[in-house]
Amino acid sequence: MIEIIKKKRNGVELSKEDFRFMIDGFVAGEIPDYQISAFLMAVYFKGMTENETAILTDVMMRSGDLIDLSEIEGIKVDKHSTGGVGDKTTLILAPLVAAAGVPVAKMSGRGLGHTGGTLDKLESIKGFSVDMSKEAFIENVKKYNIAVCGQNDNLVPADKKIYALRDVTGTVDNISLISSSIMSKKLACGADAIVVDIKVGEGAYMKTQEEAEDLAKMIIGIGSKMKRKVIAVISAMHEPLGLAVGNALEVKEAIDTLKGNGPADLNDLCLQLGGHLLVLGKVAKNQVEGTKKLEKLITSGAAFEKFKEMIKAQGGDLNVIDQPDLLPKTEFAQVFKSKKEGFISELNALDIGMASMKLGAGRATKDSKIDHGAGILLRKKIGDFVKKDEILATMFSNNQDGFEKAERLIDAAFKISKTKPRKNTLILKTIE
């Protein structure tokens, strides 16, 4: 292991045998955390080639169970987002694409910090279970064309152990390490084709479009080496996606969107990403045709019915879906009003995400408890005109102590100017 650390420290390309020795030894408990930490820091400064990244992905993918979806007919698709504020696209996209006849086999994660997690949102629905055996997962995809569940302990254990170290050693934001983490999980889940939504902006891990494009190319390169089709969509995360930030609030907004009443930016992103998934699933010739098919599925109610089918199949209470007011609520609510008149020129997604966390909607640490009803409902977004004392946002929490801190962050998030700003572009680039 010392030789491997020295090689990487000196910028030497590692072999498959090097990676296999290191990952197998680490998972087995034979290589200590401090040596892997030294290796991660060497990677952070020296980087890895595309070939090294692909090898690391493959070795990590094989460190635990592999899900074989070959018994399911059709091209199985998956979608990944690098994380953002108000990003509830999976809740809309998965049933929408499944309703179009493309099998969606989706393993999702939990939220940490200012970014929300799909599993936490789904657990706002009474009775819904995100814990599924490998067999149940495959059976649901086979029967309903859809399953969304959590990662089990035997799936890519190497990534779990390595990510825990990256989190505490300042080595999270390295493109090779991010790419291998994302793709090892996606490939272990058995998907044939993947769309990756790479967020860029204040509320995202990627702060510049250049960084996002580098990540996109690395992920697509890994996919190509592993014989998988991957499309990367780079989307803006300067302001939150949609109007709702917080678990139950976002479930309600997802339901509204599936019924055709969602916010324009959220609806557009889901249709754009879904169009690509339909092309990958070979039920649409191009993305425009795919998008039109999805619009019809929303209008006809088929997408919403597929969502209900998924909820019922995983133990969720359908009364909650038909009556979203039954979703978790909070004891307290407080409004935040505009201090002056003008146009919203900025709405910092990171500040809104952090404010939502202070209210109880997110986790400060992995052991923090989630308040499913907590969060923020935005009333205005960039480009909107607002009068003095008009409500900009409503805060929800079961703990009044969080309101003061959240209000300071919301105050910093909103910038108001006399002139109307230019409309932000939501999708910045698509790379295939």
74, two tokens: 């059709």
User: Residues 138-163: what's their mean pLDDT?
Assistant: 89
Contact (CB, 8 A) for 102 and 195: no
Model's pTM, two decimal places? 0.91
With a pLDDT cut of 90, the percent of the chain lying above it is 81
CB proximity list for 12: less than 8 A, separation 6 or greater: none
Report the DSSP pairing between strands 391-397 and 427-431: unpaired
Per-domain residue ranges of the chain: 2-47, 77-154+166-322, 328-417
Give me the active site residues, please.
80, 159, 166, 181, 185
What is the C-alpha to C-alpha distance for residues 278 and 101, in angstroms, rounded to an integer?
9
User: Residues 216-234: what's their mean pLDDT?
Assistant: 94
- In this predicted model, what pLDDT tens digit does every residue of 269-327 receive, in sequence order? 999 999 999 999 999 999 999 999 999 999 999 999 999 999 999 999 999 999 999 99
19: confidence class by pLDDT, cuts 50, 70, 90: very high
Sign of CA pseudo-dihedral 235, 239, 243, 248: positive
- In this predicted model, what pLDDT tens digit does every residue of 178-195 receive, in sequence order? 999 999 988 998 899 999
The CATH code of domain 2-47 reads: 1.20.970.10
User: Residues 355-381: what's their mean pLDDT?
Assistant: 87
Number of C-beta neighbours around residue 120 at 10 A: 23
Q: Strand, coil or helix: what is 65?
A: coil
User: Residues 347-357: what's their mean pLDDT?
Assistant: 94
366: confidence class by pLDDT, cuts 50, 70, 90: low
111: confidence class by pLDDT, cuts 50, 70, 90: low
Chain mean pLDDT for the chain: 93
Report the DSSP pairing between strands 146-150 and 104-108: parallel
Look up the CATH architecture of domain 77-154+166-322.
Answer: 3-Layer(aba) Sandwich (3.40)
User: Residues 419-431: what's their mean pLDDT?
Assistant: 93
Contact (CB, 8 A) for 122 and 296: no
What is the C-alpha to C-alpha distance for residues 322 and 317, in angstroms, rounded to an integer?
9
Residue 329 has pLDDT above 60, yes or no: yes
Residue 124 has pLDDT above 60, yes or no: yes
- The DSSP secondary-structure symbol of 136 reads H
With a pLDDT cut of 70, the percent of the chain lying above it is 97
Contact (CB, 8 A) for 359 and 402: yes
- In this predicted model, what pLDDT tens digit does every residue of 240-270 receive, in sequence order? 999 999 999 999 999 999 999 999 999 999 9
**Same fold? 2-47, 328-417:** no
5: confidence class by pLDDT, cuts 50, 70, 90: very high
- In this predicted model, what pLDDT tens digit does every residue of 390-422 receive, in sequence order? 999 999 999 999 999 999 999 999 999 999 999
What is 328-417's CATH superfamily?
Pyrimidine nucleoside phosphorylase-like, C-terminal domain (3.90.1170.30)
Residue 118 has pLDDT above 90, yes or no: no
According to the model, what pLDDT value does residue 197 have? 96
Contact (CB, 8 A) for 357 and 240: no
Q: Which residue has the tokens 């997690």?
A: 117
CB proximity list for 334: less than 8 A, separation 6 or greater: 394, 395, 403, 407
User: Residues 57-82: what's their mean pLDDT?
Assistant: 93
According to the model, what pLDDT value does residue 152 have? 75
Q: Which residue has the tokens 């592999």?
A: 66
